[in-house]
């Protein structure tokens, strides 16, 4: 069958688009390469959102959490309930690999066969592609770009790279579980926008020497049992068991290429789109959610992209009624 709309990505914003499509009476399907809200599922096990639960709500479904900031576990249950209560059509474990034109429609080639749609929303997030350190030794198994649980790091010498929310969470959590933690930070301070209840904690642990921090420094080489640092005082070689590179993530540009989505040639590398309608230069193909900010991954969140769903569907429906 030919769907009115195919949504790539079953994250919060892909789901919000599905809800709007359902409200508009369109035939739609969400294609998700992993589990429901796959990125959130892969967030650190004990993670707490910086947003309050009401700002993460979609489709008018109330998000009741135990505290004002919900946990990952509560978010997983919330989005499962949203899917259930709206009866959303989400095809899990179905990875979109390529897209091409098929007359006025688009043909999506996936790991589970082909799908054809009149319109497409790309809402693939940024949590699949880590920003690499690009240093020798990064390929060693002890180097992690995704963190889930502190237990593997008990009694281990851990280097945490970065100074934003994820790095601070990971440094504190592994320290409290008995790891010997060293932070390596490019800047001269902890990122000022770190969650307000985390920043004083990490700064005080650094001040008292419980967590060692090298500011204005970077890793230049990772070896099996040590790392080499470039610091303002010169080269330092420190003993090391694990490197947790919390250096951020970026959209999957290879996928954009396979979909035929053009990218801006400035440093943000955003998928080109009309900011009013979110339509890309491919007619009927839209981008939604955090990918719209390209490499500026701290600019867009769930809270300020939930509205993308209404914008896109309103444009899609009005365009259709004009051409009908």
Ligand X SMILES: Cc1cc2nc3c(=O)[nH]c(=O)nc-3n(C[C@H](O)[C@H](O)[C@H](O)COP(=O)(O)OP(=O)(O)OC[C@H]3O[C@@H](n4cnc5c(N)ncnc54)[C@H](O)[C@@H]3O)c2cc1C
Q: Which residues bind ligand X (CB under 6 A)?
A: 8-14, 31-34, 37-40, 43, 47, 49-51, 95-96, 123-125, 127-128, 166, 252, 255, 289-290, 301-303, 305
What residues form DSSP beta bridges with 214? 184
Interior/surface letters 151-184, b for 16+ CB within 10 angstroms, e for the rest: eebeebbbbbbbbbbbbbbbbbbbbebebbbbbb
**Tokens 């043909």 map to which residue?**
107
Give min distance, CB of 225 to ligand X, in A. 29
What residues form DSSP beta bridges with 99? 108
Class of residue 103 by CB neighbours under 10 A (exposed 0-12, middle 13-18, buried 19+):
exposed
Give min distance, CB of 312 to ligand X, in A. 13
The token pair at 140 is: 């060693």
What residues form DSSP beta bridges with 31? 8, 91
Give min distance, CB of 35 to ligand X, in A. 8
Alpha-carbon distance 171 to 159, whole Å?
8
CB nearer to ligand X: pick between 31 and 227: 31
Helix (H) or strand (E) holding 21: helix 12-23
Give min distance, CB of 123 to ligand X, in A. 5
Alpha-carbon distance 28 to 303, whole Å?
24
Give min distance, CB of 168 to ligand X, in A. 11
* CA–CA distances in Å: residue 253 to residues 121, 263, 311: 16, 9, 24
CB nearer to ligand X: pick between 74 and 180: 74
Give min distance, CB of 71 to ligand X, in A. 10
CB nearer to ligand X: pick between 130 and 152: 130
CB nearer to ligand X: pick between 46 and 264: 46
CB nearer to ligand X: pick between 167 and 227: 167
CB nearer to ligand X: pick between 116 and 303: 303
Helix (H) or strand (E) holding 85: helix 72-86
Give min distance, CB of 95 to ligand X, in A. 4
Q: Is 299 helix (H, G, I), strand (E, B) or coil?
A: coil
CB nearer to ligand X: pick between 217 and 305: 305
């Amino acid at each position: 069958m030919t769907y009115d709309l195919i949504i790539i990505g079953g994250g919060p914003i892909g789901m919000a688009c599905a809800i709007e499509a359902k409200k508009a009476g369109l035939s739609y399907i969400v294609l998700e390469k992993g589990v429901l809200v796959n990125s959130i599922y892969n967030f650190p096990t004990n993670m707490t959102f910086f947003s309050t639960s009401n700002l993460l709500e979609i489709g008018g479904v109330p998000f009741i959490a135990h505290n004002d900031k919900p946990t990952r576990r509560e978010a997983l249950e919330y989005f499962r309930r949203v899917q259930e209560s709206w009866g959303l059509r989400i095809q899990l474990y179905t990875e979109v690999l390529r897209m091409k034109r098929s007359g006025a429609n688009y043909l999506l080639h996936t790991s589970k066969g082909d799908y054809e749609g009149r319109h497409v929303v790309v809402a693939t997030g940024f949590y699949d592609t880590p920003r690499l350190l690009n240093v020798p030794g990064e390929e060693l198994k002890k180097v992690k770009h995704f963190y889930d649980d502190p237990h593997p790091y008990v009694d281990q010498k851990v280097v945490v790279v970065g100074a934003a929310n994820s790095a601070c969470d990971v440094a504190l959590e592994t320290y409290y579980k008995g790891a010997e933690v060293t932070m390596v930070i490019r800047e001269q301070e902890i990122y000022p926008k770190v969650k307000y209840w985390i920043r004083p904690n990490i700064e005080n642990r650094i001040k008292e020497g419980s967590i060692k921090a090298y500011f204005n420094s970077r890793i230049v080489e990772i070896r099996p049992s040590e790392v080499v640092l470039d610091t303002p005082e010169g080269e330092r070689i420190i003993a090391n068991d694990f490197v947790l590179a919390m250096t951020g993530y970026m959209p999957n540009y290879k996928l954009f290429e396979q979909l035929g989505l053009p990218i801006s040639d400035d440093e943000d590398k955003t998928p080109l789109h009309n900011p009013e309608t979110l339509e890309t230069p491919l007619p009927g193909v839209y981008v939604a959610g955090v990918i719209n900010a390209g490499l500026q991954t701290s600019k867009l969140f769930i809270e300020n992209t939930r509205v993308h769903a209404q914008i896109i569907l309103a444009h899609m429906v009005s365009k259709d009624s004009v051409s009908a």
